[in-house]
Structure 1
Amino acid sequence: MTFLDSAVWGGKFCSDGWRHSPARQPVTEPATGDRLGTVGVATAEDVDRAAARAAEAQRAWAATSPQRRAAVLRRAGELFTEHAAEIEDWLVREAGSVRSKAGFETGLAIGECFECAALPAHPQGEVLTSEDARWSLARRRPAGVVGVIAPFNFPLVLGLRSVAPALALGNAVLLKPDPRTAVSGGVVVARIFEEAGLPAGVLHLLPGDGAVGRAVVEAPEVRVVSFTGSTPVGRAIGERAGRLLKRAHLELGGNNALVVLPGADVARAASAGAFGSYLHQGQICMTTGRHLVHESLVDEYTAALAAKADSLRVGDPAREDVALGPLIDRGQLERVHGIVTDSVAAGAKIAAGGEIDGAGYRATVLTGLTTDMPAWREEIFGPVAPVVSFSTAEEAARIVNDSEYGLSVGILGDVGTAMRLADRIDSGKVHINEQTVSDEPNAPFGGVKASGTGSRFGGPAANVEAFTETQWLTVRPDIADYPF
């Protein structure tokens, strides 16, 4: 029996143990359409029961010693390491990941657990001055029950980066993965923490559709909602959470720019640009969606990027050594192709790709764009690299900032020029002499504008801020004297 054997989770969801569900959904391989298994689907009533149980279990978990909580997180990291190959297989088959991306994601999950194992011992407050004869403290306490709603593209790590710190800091968690990646984004996490010794009732896996997500947001016991996904859905969650006076941490879309400065090494820049646009078929919030190239280099860069695109094979990553796997489903495939064809109809030119290839899409380069075309304005979430030129740093800054999004920007070339440009850019992350896709468990992660509500993931400061509440506590040696 393997770690992820379907005999454990088939037709079930995990809420105080693995429960059979009358409603089930297939687990499908996007490259082939083959059925990989079935998972149980939760209902809104299941969410309500899970939230009540989580609130009960959270009290005891928060009272558990820091060393014990840290040990569970360390053991989770060890289990991810021990079962990495099997987990990567699921990421390849269920999420359409190429093997290198699956390995990268599993490595991030391992790092996330070990990084979060330090959180229970992190300082949990500060001593304040006071005008009165008393001790005055500001202390951090667990928020309570945290709802985590995760996407399909990096299903494991984009859920775990909220689950792991929330648990480490003494919270209980309701996890709702994307229905298309319920195993690699849900079952894996539940099994890991089950085997790591997390007490029953602290983590609940609740696969389902939007109704389940709404129930997670609305459950009275849930005090914090952590959502990663599209901007439209994030807006709806933020609005609902605001009305319920709950905190919502929203990591949303991006249309990220890569700026190639004059004098940059074109071959290296094109390699960086190809990685930024085509990794995981462009299905990453940090994907390089806009290439801004200095007018002195734009023709050479475009040719080099097109040559890179033409060399990248599309296929089934579970059975072939390919650079690009399938898009997550047919709807997303047709959406990507529609954006490309609409932009071409508006005057853009295809320098490479522009075609559906089985369940995938060929790596594409577009030129001749104006900044009002769909391929430039929209988050494509596919392997498409639109290229425009600029003449001055001022123009580059204006074009970069002329977007509703503000997640990640890469700047390639002279460091001094790049630093001055970075100071003028509205973005949650700026990477000099790197492309736009980068993540480390100890680094703050988040965007501005329509990309979300700032850095609420990564590193002790962001995690403690995200998943705890501040309580003011005062202590006197004796009962105070009052004038009444």
Structure 2
Amino acid sequence: MTTIDIAPAVGAGLLAPEVWSNRVFAADGVAGSVAHEIREPATGELLGTYLGVEAAQVRVAATAAAAAQEAWEHTPPEERAAVLRRAGALFEEHAEEIQAWVQRETGAIAPKAQLETHTAAQECYEASALPTAAMGDVLAAEEPRWSFARRRAAGVVSVISPFNFPLILSIRSVAPALALGNAVLLKPDPRTTVSGGVAIARVFEEAGLPAGLLSLLPGGADVGEAVVTAPEVRIVSFTGSTPAGRIVGELAARHLKRAHLELGGNNALVVLPGADVEQAASAGAFGSFMHQGQICMTTGRHIVHESLYDEYVAALARRADALVVGDPTGHVHMGPIIDERQRDRVLGIIGGAIDAGASVQAGGTHDGLFVRPTVLSRVAGDNPAWSEEIFGPVAPVRSYRTREEAIGLIRENPYGLSVSLLGDVAEAMRIADRIRSGKIHINEQTVMDEANAPFGGVGDSGTGSRFGGAQANIEAFTETQWLTMRPDIAPYPF
């Protein structure tokens, strides 16, 4: 199998292709099957090949993970914490090399790739505090005994991650799950196997994680089903589209697994009366066009007070027209859509929006996988560009007159991930208390994530905030056990 060096940063380091292209990062006995190609969206170049696994191999990995997990759970907390700290340091040490893969594999510009490695390190550092965190409560007891509710590692956790932010959206579950004493089966999106899988496997290998605790299992839908249904798996952490999340949730429920589902979003950015239009348009452009709009938190709906509407649309269109789209390894603002299928979906929604009466104020065109940032005005509520999650660089704009109308426009969508309110803080607070959303940002745009903050959505956006911060991670990746203790054997009437 041949590979191509993808950047000067990649050579004989952590992710040298000869280290991983013919190797399966899993317990002994897990065999790779078909070699899959990794191609760069921006150029179509072959970046390398990896060995995918078949569904039958998942069971081998799950059995080995369960065997390794028990000893890991009882490893002294400081030793587990040390592995996580070393992993964080390795993400920093090899940041440039990993960023090169993120750029070429996902079509990301350099700042986005830098964000991924920075966040990966922070996730590990945050997780390193979990082994020594408080793990339970002392309960009141009617009987003469001590009564405790304590948190225990769940066992084996499956992590299924998407292509758009593959490193962040994998490590945010992998790191806390391992820190809390679990073993992990990681299935990244096949299109981003290196930046969403190999990079993590190599970092933890170098950090000294014991064998069998982290298995990288690249593959298709059959492998995804297998990492959910394997009997050893207790918890499934899935990040992806809402339709796929429904399938995972149903499958997990059928097999009595807990599933944490972080799904899609059609997020609203509200421009309040009196807001600074230029600043609001800058926030709106970032929210809609960052990473080509391929983010679950992307601003999908711009809701602007009628007094500012025309000015805002013009300012947003100017910013869209000024953005440079091209090869993300160059000096550009936006790279390519991940593949032809997703590009065609985005273009189909733009075309459907125009057919339904929307007006194109900027963009609407493409060159290969490079789609121009698009601003749409005169968008009705039933327009597909307004009602659907696009996952592309499209900014539909509607106006509103009253607070109640703005609240209604936010609420009319079934998603509930992120809402941005720009302008008067008092008015924003009044609206914030009336809406259901996993995240609300006042005077910031919708795309926001930090390692120590809880993350997740409601409604069609998922099953709530399950990632980020000690409390959310402990709840996500442990199970509660009731433990009682008394000085002597209790008397019983039998």
TM-score range relative to shorter protein: over 0.9
Residue in 2 that maps onto 1:265: 276
> Is the contact made by 1:333 and 1:356 (CA closer than 8 Å) also made in structure 2?
no
Aligned residues: 483
- Given that 2:30 and 2:57 are in contact with CA atoms closer than 8 Å, whether structure 1 keeps it comes out as no
Q: Counterpart of 2:26?
A: 15
The answer to which of 189-198 and 6-15 deviates more is 6-15
Look up the match of 2:131.
Answer: 120
Task: Specify the alignment match of 1:309 in structure 2.
Answer: 320
Counterpart-to-counterpart distance in 2, 1:193 and 1:364 = 41
**Distance apart, 1:478 and its partner CA:** 1.0
Name which of 99, 107, 111 aligns with 1:100: 111
- The aligned amino acid for 1:106 is T
Asked if 2 retains the 8 angstrom alpha-carbon contact of 1:12 and 1:19, the reply is no
Distance across 2 between alignment mates of 1:195 and 1:110: 14
Report the TM-score when normalising by structure 1.
0.99
C-alpha deviation, 1:391, in angstroms? 0.4
Return the letter of the residue paired with 1:323: H
Please say if 1:385 is aligned against 2:395.
Answer: yes
Name the CA distance, whole Å, in 2 between partners of 1:11 and 1:345: 49
With the length of structure 2 as denominator, give the TM-score of the two structures: 0.97
- Provide the rounded CA distance (Å) in 1 between the counterparts of 2:63 and 2:30: 16
| Partner of residue 149, structure 2 | 138
Q: Which residue of 2 aligns with 1:82?
A: 93
Residue in 2 aligned with 1:292? 303
Partner of 2:209: 198
Q: Structure 2: which amino acid aligns with 1:452?
A: G
Asked whether the equivalents of residues 33 and 54 of structure 2 are also in contact (C-alpha less than 8 Å), the reply is no
Aligned-residue CA RMSD in angstroms? 0.9
CA contact (8 A) 1:9 1:18 kept: no
- Hey, what's the Cα distance between the residues in 2 that align with 1:474 and 1:461? 23
- Partner of residue 451, structure 2: 441
Change (3 A) 1:412 1:475: same
How far apart are the structure 1 equivalents of 2:154 and 2:287? 36
- Mapping of residues 350-365 of structure 1, within 5 Å: 350-365=360-375
CA distance in 1, matches of 2:479, 2:370: 45
Query: Following the alignment from structure 2 to structure 1, what is the Cα–Cα distance between the partners of residues 336 and 23?
Result: 27
- Contact (CA 8 Å) 1:12, 1:41: kept in 2 or not? no
C-alpha separation in 2, matches of 1:43 and 1:127: 46
Distance, in Å, in 2 between the alignment partners of 1:295 and 1:251 is: 34
| Residues 95 and 153 in structure 1, CA contact (< 8 A), matched pair in contact too | yes
Contact 1:12 1:18 (8 Å CA) reproduced: no
1:27-38 → structure 2 map (5 Å cutoff) = 27-38=38-49
Aligned-partner Cα distance in 2 for 1:106–1:436: 21
Q: Is contact 1:314-1:357 (8 Å) kept? A: no
Mapped to 2, the partners of 1:283 and 1:359 lie a distance apart of 13
Aligned to 1:328: 338
Offset of 1:22 from its aligned partner?
3.2
Unaligned runs of 5+ in 2: 1-11
Does structure 1 residue 213 correspond to structure 2 residue 224? yes
Provide the residue aligned with 2:434 in structure 1: 424
AA in 1 matched with 2:13: T
Distance 1:203 1:254 in 2: 30
- Secondary structure at 1:226's aligned position in 2? strand
Q: Give the Å deviation of 1:17.
A: 6.1
| Runs (5+) with no aligned partner, structure 1 | none
Match 2:287 to one of 267, 276, 289: 276
1:12 is paired with a residue whose SS is coil
Q: Residue 33 of structure 2 contacts residue 53 of structure 2 at CA under 8 Å; is this kept in 1?
A: no
- Which residue does the alignment assign to 2:476? 466
Amino acid in the other structure paired with 1:475: M
The equivalent residue for 1:341 is 351
Q: CA separation in 2, counterparts of 1:258 and 1:312?
A: 20
User: Which shows bigger deviation, 238-247 or 211-220?
Assistant: 238-247
State the alpha-carbon separation in 2 of the partners of residues 482 and 338 from structure 1: 72
Which runs of at least 4 in structure 1 moved beyond 4 Å after TM superposition?
17-20
Q: Which amino acid aligns with 1:305?
A: L
